[in-house]
Structure 1
Amino acid sequence: MSSSPLLKPTEDAKDAEYRGARHASISAGTSRSVTPRPPSPPASEALSIKRRKRLQWLRYSAGACALISCLSAGSILLFSLYTPLFQRHLRYSQMQINMIAIAAELGMYLLVPIFGWVCDNFGPDRLSIVSVFMFVPGYLFAAYCYTNKLPWAAMFFAFFLIGGGTVSMYLTGITTCAKNFTKKRGLALAIPISAFGLSPFWMSQVANAAFTKESEDGDGLIELDIQGVYTFFALYLLGVGLLGSLFLKVYPDPDLDEITLRGETAPLLASSPTAAEHTEYGAAVLSNDPHDIPPVVKRRLLNDDTRNFLSDPTMWWFAAGVFLTAGPGESFINNMGALIKTIQPASSTTTSTGDETAVHVSIIAITSTIARLFSGFLSDYLGPPVEPAPASDETEPENKRFRVSRILLIIIFTALMLIPYLLLSSGYIQTHPQQFYIISSLIGVGYGAVFTLSPTIVSVVWGVENLATNWGIIAMLPAGGASVFGLLFASVYDSEAGRQNSGEHGLGNGLCFGLRCYQRSFAGMAASCMIAIGLWMWAWRGRGGWLARGVSV
């Protein structure tokens, strides 16, 4: 009789005994408790050498394609390059420009739960096809809107599609890596997220090098060719999306048996109903190949995970903190082009500052990429372990290892992001505009680390198997944060611009210069980050928090 590659129990009695042991372990504490293992066949019987090599190659090829997808998904982060031209040629106000940016945020964040559900249930390869149907019409329509100077509402719809394409392609990358490489969860998430953060760097360089033209106003200035850039992105992302539909798949790890696999993907919270379900479904779940789980069983498992996730109060405290930190970061990135003009004298900034904005876009991309990789490394090597408990003879050195909670890490990086908001609201940068690189660097570091550590914490506390859906639910909230703080910046800016442009000596074009154009908005952003730190501390160490429930984050 041929041996099966699936690690399945063969006797009902052993199944019952094993399920009972798992229930006892779960009810006693964390789902990471050491439990009796059913007998495993020799490795030679579980997987042939040829199949093991093939699975390894497939997993690494999927990981490489995931990095390409993430490295190509961040075109929306170039938005600050477009805002001066929207303001100059299309005569959009700062409020209208922020409404277009909000459209992209809504497309990115409100669609995440839907796309996450598609990714978890049907695979990242299917979601890659969805990204094609969002990116291509979005960028082609945006090019048409700019060329024909259509009202801002038309551009609003175009950027909503672009935002949807961004998050769908981004989710395909991080989900593929997270589910194919579960041993080093922090790096498995940090590397594709870092690739996403790096994407605006090379895109901004390509845009400024290959897509420039003489200004339409006939003043001899060189500016960005918006129509050419948008057409290029439509064609390029079409190719990347089709590539992902072929290679972005989840494969079993041949080096993991079924117990290790379930231990790494099951949630840490002992109250999770899914922890028991993982055992109750018996042989249907005891497989190290996700394709072998019946769809009905898989959907029920994922639905139970989602219900448990939504009913956990600590999730809402944590999500509120993400809301309060992501919103200011998104608002800064979207309005950086206008802000760079604002902090300099009016006589020197009535012309395009596209080159300077591109430099700071690159600074944010590079610093956020370094921060994503560094924070992922710290999460794996300093954070509490999330894999099954080691054997007794390995416990001693493990306990002596220096550990830092992932919550402390995210608080430290949020504090770094708080500093530039304080510098802007205090007026320091207004008198030292040449030091704006400090602002863009610190925000890049904080923004990148928060968006790496947040999904990592979600995967540690609530498990990786339903990560796309669970993180997708939390990722809806930054859309609200970006909207609130984007509108806050726009209202303060337009109000002061209206005052400056009134009378005979107005500057015109709806432009605003000076500290009063942004001081109150960045003071609000600083307060927002402080509140987020308090909420994360409460979710961690407050009444009924993770520490009280024995969850090592």
Structure 2
Amino acid sequence: MSTSLQQPGSARPYLRRIRLALLCFSVAANAICAGGVFCFPIISPALVTHLKLTQPQLTTIALVGMMGQYPFAAFVGKILDLYGAWACSLISACFFSAGFGLFANEISSSPDTITQPSTSTFHRLVVYFFIAALGTVFSYFSSVFAASKNFPNYIGAAAGTSMALFGLSPTFLSLIASRYFSSPDGEVDVSHFLKFLAMLCGCVHLVGGFTMYAIPSTPKEESSSVILTNDLEAPNERTPMLPNKTNDNQVLVRVDVVSLRDQSPEPKQSTLDVLSDRNFWALAFIVFVVLGSCEMIISNIGTIVLSLPSPISTNSAFVNTPSIVSMTATQVRVLSISNTLSRLVVGPLADIVSPVPSRTIGGNRGILREHHISRIAFMTFSTATLACTYAWMVIGVKEQAGIWALTIGAGIAYGCTFTILPSLVSSIWGLSNLGRNYGIMTYAPFLGTPSFSYLYAFSSDAGSASSQDEACRGTACWTFTFKVSALAATLACVTSAYLWRAWKGRV
């Protein structure tokens, strides 16, 4: 009799492990399949040859895919907070299937005898790609926060891994396109490739709708949580007459083992409460500078390489040789690799040296692991790295070989900031509104990216106007841009030092 009563309880941990395994599979699948909109460079040549689209039209479609993810981020975060990651995964399945499917149908239904671009076709393609961009942001939130909320004690590793897979998604999908949807002469069958994306993304995210639930912890895991309070116990008959010696920078705490079931939920915060916190704006400024300037580099690394003389050129002569194309491709790969590796390294490292509380109530809830350094240190590292990198671009770069520091530094800072941001937001403003608060924070790069990009564009345009070539040549094309960027990164570094002091003991 006693054995039969123990069987359900003994089976629960195994059932939970199965559910966690399915959730991890869905998180990885969602992330690796979500980067379809970033594959636009491999489909744009076919749009030129088949639909005769102009370069401004192609740029518009690409920007809709890139920037269309940000405007509705707070709304997507609110849906995630109210319903969960499964709802975001289901919605993304609908958007991906509709966006890529309609885009493919528009291409296949257009006649091959087109000689001039069709304005109506262009407008429809913009709408369809925007729909796919909405699917991207829903997918991103579903994978990142399904991982973060189910592994709150290791939020850095969970968020970093899912973000790294998201960053590798364009590479994964482009390999599929080149292997299975390319002709012998290298041209991609865009219509069939997009139909494949519509089916793949739709099915993967549909599965996520059935697996991405918040899985409750077992009683054993719940009882391992602790509360860290800044109050010392009142003296009693067992209190020693002489207190233990401690370092001046250590904080004495009382540790009480409690069950999460006995605790009240986190206090609700309105959007106005968050926006009235000046520290929120300080963090937003750091994100504005780091992500905005890094995305400017990601978008323009090709023209930055082109503006400089190659190592084989003499007397500063600019030659448009295959070496320039090779150098550009190499720099893109280096930036991607440094971005991905930083996410994979920083997440687990932050969990080790800066463990965050699984639930934050007044900054007192914690876990029984030693805290070595504030997580803001990673933001300080990112901003300091960018400040030095941008300063190097101003004073040290004269040819293409010198921009390795730019791609490596930007990739590391970009990946580090994206990885550490969810844990900072959850630690300070709680998990209950994490999706909404993180969504609001993503408006910072939404504004930062075009700000730094247009700064570079106008600076480069002024340089090309003073030269005889159509493209801007020489360091004058971007010197002013990196001077401003270096100053902004320095201010962001100072701001991170302020937050380090303001949030001492909380992150």
Shorter-chain TM-score category? 0.7 to 0.9
**Structure 1's 350 and 129: CA in aligned 2 closer, same or farther, altered over 3 A?**
same
Partners of 1:47 and 1:184 in 2: how far apart? 28
Partners of 2:206 and 2:90 in 1: how far apart? 6
**Structure 1's 443 and 317: CA in aligned 2 closer, same or farther, altered over 3 A?**
same
Corresponding residue for 1:313?
278
Corresponding residue for 2:234?
none
Amino acid at match of 1:56: R
Task: Kindly indicate whether residue 15 of structure 2 is the aligned counterpart of residue 54 of structure 1.
Answer: yes
Corresponding residue for 2:503?
546
Deviation at 1:224, TM superposition (A): 6.1
Corresponding residue for 1:413?
382
Partners of 1:516 and 1:156 in 2: how far apart? 35
Amino acid at match of 2:197: F
Deviation at 1:471, TM superposition (A): 0.9
1:476 to 428, 440, 443: 443
**Structure 1's 235 and 329: CA in aligned 2 closer, same or farther, altered over 3 A?**
farther
Partners of 1:526 and 1:74 in 2: how far apart? 30
Partners of 1:183 and 1:384 in 2: how far apart? 7
Partners of 1:85 and 1:346 in 2: how far apart? 30
Corresponding residue for 2:165?
195
Amino acid at match of 1:480: L
Deviation at 1:225, TM superposition (A): 6.1
Deviation at 1:78, TM superposition (A): 4.6
**Structure 1's 145 and 423: CA in aligned 2 closer, same or farther, altered over 3 A?**
farther
| Range moving further from structure 2, 459-468 or 164-173 | 459-468
Partners of 1:489 and 1:158 in 2: how far apart? 29
Partners of 1:322 and 1:517 in 2: how far apart? 25
Q: Structure 1, residues 302-356: CA drift from partner, whole Å, max 9, x if none?
A: 8536454333221111112111111111222223344344435764269994x66
2:55 to 80, 83, 92: 92
**Structure 1's 256 and 155: CA in aligned 2 closer, same or farther, altered over 3 A?**
farther
Task: Kindly indicate whether residue 132 of structure 2 is the aligned counterpart of residue 168 of structure 1.
Answer: no
Contact kept in structure 2, 1:127 and 1:168, CA below 8 Å: yes
**Structure 1's 125 and 142: CA in aligned 2 closer, same or farther, altered over 3 A?**
same
Contact kept in structure 1, 2:153 and 2:357, CA below 8 Å: no
Q: Map 1:265-284 onto structure 2 (within 5 A).
A: none
Deviation at 1:70, TM superposition (A): 1.4
2:320 to 341, 348, 364: 348
Deviation at 1:141, TM superposition (A): 5.4
Partners of 2:206 and 2:373 in 1: how far apart? 41
Contact kept in structure 1, 2:342 and 2:412, CA below 8 Å: yes
Deviation at 1:421, TM superposition (A): 3.0
Deviation at 1:168, TM superposition (A): 1.0
Contact kept in structure 2, 1:306 and 1:466, CA below 8 Å: no
Partners of 1:463 and 1:142 in 2: how far apart? 40
Q: Map 1:19-98 onto structure 2 (within 5 A).
A: 48-78=9-39, 90-93=53-56
Q: Structure 1, residues 494-520: CA drift from partner, whole Å, max 9, x if none?
A: 4444554xxxx654xxx4443333333
**Structure 1's 287 and 53: CA in aligned 2 closer, same or farther, altered over 3 A?**
farther
User: Matched residue pairs, number?
Assistant: 451
Partners of 2:48 and 2:406 in 1: how far apart? 23
| Range moving further from structure 2, 488-497 or 344-353 | 344-353
Contact kept in structure 1, 2:290 and 2:382, CA below 8 Å: no
Task: Kindly indicate whether residue 460 of structure 2 is the aligned counterpart of residue 493 of structure 1.
Answer: yes
Three-state SS of the structure 1 residue aligned to 2:153 is coil
Unaligned residue ranges in structure 1 (runs of 5+): 1-43, 215-220, 269-282, 289-296, 390-394
Partners of 2:458 and 2:493 in 1: how far apart? 26
Deviation at 1:222, TM superposition (A): 5.4
Unaligned residue ranges in structure 2 (runs of 5+): 231-258, 310-316, 361-365
2:295 to 310, 323, 330: 330
2:475 to 508, 515, 521: 515
Corresponding residue for 2:154?
184
**Structure 1's 388 and 76: CA in aligned 2 closer, same or farther, altered over 3 A?**
closer
Task: Kindly indicate whether residue 491 of structure 2 is the aligned counterpart of residue 531 of structure 1.
Answer: yes
Amino acid at match of 2:378: L
**Structure 1's 99 and 303: CA in aligned 2 closer, same or farther, altered over 3 A?**
farther
Amino acid at match of 1:67: A
Corresponding residue for 1:364?
335
Q: Structure 1, residues 390-431: CA drift from partner, whole Å, max 9, x if none?
A: xxxxx9x96xx6712111122113322344433444461xx4
Corresponding residue for 1:447?
414
Amino acid at match of 2:480: R
Q: Structure 1, residues 98-143: CA drift from partner, whole Å, max 9, x if none?
A: 6555433442222111111111211211111221233334345556
- Computed over aligned residues only, the root mean square deviation of the Cα atoms, in angstroms, reads 4.1
Contact kept in structure 1, 2:146 and 2:213, CA below 8 Å: yes
Contact kept in structure 1, 2:107 and 2:191, CA below 8 Å: no
Corresponding residue for 1:127?
88
Deviation at 1:85, TM superposition (A): 8.8
Amino acid at match of 2:497: M
Partners of 1:256 and 1:462 in 2: how far apart? 27
Amino acid at match of 1:238: G
**Structure 1's 516 and 231: CA in aligned 2 closer, same or farther, altered over 3 A?**
farther
Task: Kindly indicate whether residue 201 of structure 2 is the aligned counterpart of residue 247 of structure 1.
Answer: no
Partners of 2:391 and 2:42 in 1: how far apart? 24
Amino acid at match of 1:552: R
Amino acid at match of 1:481: G
Partners of 2:92 and 2:359 in 1: how far apart? 36
Q: Structure 1, residues 459-487: CA drift from partner, whole Å, max 9, x if none?
A: 22222232212111111221011121222
Contact kept in structure 2, 1:59 and 1:251, CA below 8 Å: yes
Amino acid at match of 2:441: I
Amino acid at match of 1:364: L
Corresponding residue for 1:386?
357
Partners of 2:95 and 2:380 in 1: how far apart? 35
Deviation at 1:249, TM superposition (A): 1.5
Task: Kindly indicate whether residue 201 of structure 2 is the aligned counterpart of residue 237 of structure 1.
Answer: yes
Deviation at 1:188, TM superposition (A): 2.1
**Structure 1's 150 and 100: CA in aligned 2 closer, same or farther, altered over 3 A?**
same
Three-state SS of the structure 2 residue aligned to 1:184 is helix
Contact kept in structure 2, 1:197 and 1:366, CA below 8 Å: no
